[in-house]
């Protein structure tokens, strides 16, 4: 009888709803520095840090307000590492045409962090491409971090993963940014 009670308790615990972290109140954040992304996988909110990377944040805001990111794919997604977007060519070779000098800072590349992609051998080659960390990982090279996901990390986790034999390149039907906007622009 005692074994049956233990099994019932274990079963009840397994079937009980899992407590989830409450969504943050995004209205409490600086709306001018809150990037909203409607992805094919769901909504994502990224708190931008102009205090750490002022030129990068300013350029991202400019591109967002010009509609640059709307419709762009996540062309490179490495499972348990990062999801990269921001290339109008969709293959990792394109950009907006405006290179940015590095703004290395103290923001660690932890899960949910947003940072600029760049050429491996040129720290001043960031343009429009950025990535979101899927897991905390120490990178050998330095990257300009400019924000962090404050809501919607599940949507980021659900972005279609790329081919591990092709450095994470997503070959068919990649997920995309449907629409990007700055929260202050909707007030």
pLDDT at 17 (0 to 100): 45
pLDDT at 82 (0 to 100): 96
The answer as to whether 17 is a domain residue is no
pLDDT at 140 (0 to 100): 59
pLDDT at 14 (0 to 100): 45
Domain that includes residue 178, residue range: 32-186
Handedness of CA 95, 75, 82, 179 (dihedral sign): positive
The answer as to whether 75 is a domain residue is yes
CATH of the domain at 48: 2.40.100.10
The answer as to whether 12 is a domain residue is no
- Tell me the CB-side half-sphere exposure of residue 98, using CA atoms within 13 A: 10
The answer as to whether 10 is a domain residue is no
The answer as to whether 47 is a domain residue is yes
CA distances from 158 to 15, 16, 40, 134, 174 (A): 24, 24, 9, 10, 11
pLDDT at 21 (0 to 100): 56
The H or E element that residue 42 is part of is: strand 42-48
The answer as to whether 63 is a domain residue is yes
Q: What pTM did the predictor assign? A: 0.86
pLDDT at 1 (0 to 100): 55
pLDDT at 141 (0 to 100): 60
The answer as to whether 130 is a domain residue is yes
pLDDT at 101 (0 to 100): 96
Which of 161, 159, 90, 171 minimizes the C-alpha distance to 129? 90
Q: For the chain, which ranges sit under pLDDT 50?
A: 6-20
* Overall domain count for the chain: 1
Residue 170 CB partners (closer than 8 Å, separation 6+): 73, 74, 75, 76, 77, 160, 161, 162, 163
The H or E element that residue 147 is part of is: strand 145-151
The answer as to whether 58 is a domain residue is yes
pLDDT at 110 (0 to 100): 94
Distance separating alpha carbons of residues 55 and 61, to the nearest angstrom: 10
pLDDT at 88 (0 to 100): 97
């Amino acid at each position: 009888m005692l074994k049956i009670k233990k099994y019932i308790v274990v079963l009840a615990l397994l079937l009980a709803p899992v407590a989830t972290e409450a969504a943050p109140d995004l209205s409490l954040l600086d709306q001018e520095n809150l990037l909203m992304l409607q992805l094919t996988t769901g909504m994502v909110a990224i708190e931008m840090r102009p205090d750490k990377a002022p030129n990068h944040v300013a350029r991202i805001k400019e591109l967002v307000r010009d509609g640059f990111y709307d419709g762009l794919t996540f062309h490179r997604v490495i499972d348990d590492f990062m999801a990269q977007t921001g290339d109008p060519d969709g293959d990792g070779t394109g950009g907006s045409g405006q290179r940015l000098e590095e703004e290395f800072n103290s923001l660690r590349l932890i899960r949910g962090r947003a940072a600029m992609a760049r050429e491996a051998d040129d720290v001043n080659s960031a343009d429009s491409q950025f990535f979101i960390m899927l897991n905390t990982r120490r990178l050998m090279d330095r990257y300009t971090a400019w924000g962090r996901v404050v809501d919607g990390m599940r949507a980021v986790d659900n972005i279609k993963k790329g081919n591990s034999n092709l450095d994470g390149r997503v070959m068919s039907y990649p997920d995309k940014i449907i629409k990007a906007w700055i929260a202050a622009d909707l007030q």
